[in-house]
Structure 1
Amino acid sequence: MSTISLKSFKKKVSIKQSNELTEAAYYLPLQAKRVLWLCLMQAYFSEASEDFESDVLPLFSVSVSDYVKYFNVATAVASRDVKAGVKALGESTVTFYPRDGEFEQVTRPWLSEAGMKRGRGSWQIEFNYKVMPFLVGLSSQFTTYSLYDCGQLNSVKVIRLYESLCQFRSTGTWVTDHEWLCERFMLPDSQRSNKAEMKRTFLEPAIKKINEKTPLRVSYRTQDDGRLLFSVMDKPLAIS
């Protein structure tokens, strides 16, 4: 497949992620994040209606061949990455912040089970049934973005910022604060305790990378109340 046709193919591959998941607190290494994307893609493409979440089962299949196809790596690398990604998902938790109900926040393991199929180069992943509603949406609010676009980013924290910014493409502005970013993205103590350090070592390099590698054009400023105001817009389409 040529470079041009491969890019055209990848641009058509979308991920639809519930805003509850976008706003959750978790850290996954890049391999695990990519495995999660491959599962979210399956939920997205299984959608038959706006109420598709009720029909999505917690079982997903992740193959080495799909990892090769979507992330443009060698088969040996993909095999290693998928195994590492599944292992990291199985050992990790995610914290959600429900808008309703008894709990202000709740932490759950991602997976119930993960099994590698004999000789097939694929894994069957079963998500924790209590996580599934957050994966496919407790509400009608979703963030949709292209796998090709976010696939140009190789830092998980930059990817998380990109996903958050994509929620506000339609309104063009996002207001948040230092504490929210540190908590949700699980930033290190040096950035939690020092706002200037967080901006210098995370936020500004991340925005630069997003502006270089994705369709978004992003800037930010600090308001008088200390909160961060992000400007989010799509870059003009290039005229061929």
Structure 2
Amino acid sequence: MSVSKRTVATLIKIDSQPSVTMSNALLRAGHGLTLAEKRVIACAISKLDSRRQLPIGEILTTKITAIEYAEIAGCNMRTAYEALQEASKNLFERKITFFNNDLNHQNDSSSKLVQMRWVGEIHYQEGEGWVEIYWWYKIIPFLTGLKRQFTTYKLHQAHALRSVYSWRLMELLMRFHDTKTAEYDIDFFSNAMDATEKQRSNFNNIRRRIIEPAVNELTSKGGWDIKWTPIKSGRRVVKLRFEFKKYNHILKK
């Protein structure tokens, strides 16, 4: 890939609160991130102008400081420095996992999986407490130049969450914030939640390890009212339906 210029993303705020915007295909993908890495990535996405179409060959970079991380995580500065440093060690290896047909806007979960990086480079500045992300060029169309089929939520909605499963479920529900009903094929849901092979082999594991803890945390900390139903074909759960409401109040720590 030829490189012509470098741009540093600017912070985009709506109603004085940073917003996270991504394509629905990326939202449904497996993100492969720990909670600390999710915070870094979400903060970085909130600094992008999702409406801007980048010229071909332009490198997109985003800087995240320890102060910004501490605000998202609700932690002290020492913890923020350590989290940024640890995230910078692993983010280069983290992969997003798409269903191929989801990339083509088709609803067929039997298609093959496609993996993509989040970042092409990542730099951690020792002693100064900031990390700079150089976004992988193939991920940029899922984050910028978005005209349709995208989801936006306020970054502060995840402030109190202590589980990456809760955060991912929140994102999956926010896609349907108008209808208040979300339905996901079990394979798509398992992929989006980065469920392990053991969890996928037995739905009770997904229920106990992923769905119930995530619903409980969103209910107790995020002001959500969530009812979910497994949909079966024979004895096998094939889909999940979520009916939800979101009440506007400050998240509990």
TM-score band (shorter)?
0.7 to 0.9
Change (3 A) 1:137 1:163: farther
Correspondent of 2:83 among 66, 81, 84: 81
Counterparts of 1:89 and 1:213, CA distance in 2: 28
TM-superposed deviation, 1:14: 2.3
In 1, are the aligned partners of 2:88 and 2:124 still within 8 Å (CA)? no
Give the secondary structure class of the aligned counterpart of 1:223: strand
Matched, 1:145 2:157: no
Which residue of 1 is the match for residue 28 of structure 2? 23
Counterparts of 2:221 and 2:138, CA distance in 1: 35
Give the secondary structure class of the aligned counterpart of 1:52: coil
In 1, are the aligned partners of 2:84 and 2:129 still within 8 Å (CA)? no
Which residue of 1 is the match for residue 206 of structure 2? 198
Which residue of 1 is the match for residue 3 of structure 2? none
Which residue of 1 is the match for residue 247 of structure 2? 235
Which residue of 2 is the match for residue 121 of structure 1? 129
Q: Unaligned regions of 5+ residues in structure 1, if any?
A: 1-9
Change (3 A) 1:236 1:230: same
Q: CA RMSD in A?
A: 2.7
Which residue of 2 is the match for residue 3 of structure 1? none
Counterparts of 2:87 and 2:148, CA distance in 1: 29
Counterparts of 2:16 and 2:205, CA distance in 1: 35
Identity of aligned residues (%): 26
TM-superposed deviation, 1:11: 8.1
Give the secondary structure class of the aligned counterpart of 1:58: strand
TM-score by length of 2: 0.77
Which residue of 2 is the match for residue 69 of structure 1? 71
1:73-122 superposed Cα distances (whole Å, 9 cap, x missing partner): 22111111011112221121112341169x96431222111123464322
Once the two structures are superposed, the pairs formed by residues 72-221 of structure 1 within 5 Å of their partners are: 72-97=74-99, 98-99=103-104, 105-117=113-125, 119-136=127-144, 139-221=147-229
In 2, are the aligned partners of 1:11 and 1:149 still within 8 Å (CA)? no
Counterparts of 1:223 and 1:167, CA distance in 2: 20
TM-superposed deviation, 1:140: 1.6
Higher helix share: 1
TM-score by length of 1: 0.81
Which residue of 1 is the match for residue 52 of structure 2? 52
- Give aligned pairs, total: 223
Change (3 A) 1:64 1:219: same
Correspondent of 1:223 among 211, 231, 253: 231
TM-superposed deviation, 1:68: 2.2
In 2, are the aligned partners of 1:168 and 1:174 still within 8 Å (CA)? yes
Give the secondary structure class of the aligned counterpart of 1:13: strand
In 2, are the aligned partners of 1:178 and 1:195 still within 8 Å (CA)? no
Which residue of 2 is the match for residue 5 of structure 1? none
Q: Unaligned regions of 5+ residues in structure 2, if any?
A: 1-14
After TM superposition, the runs of 4+ consecutive aligned structure 1 residues lying more than 6 A away are none
In 2, are the aligned partners of 1:21 and 1:134 still within 8 Å (CA)? yes
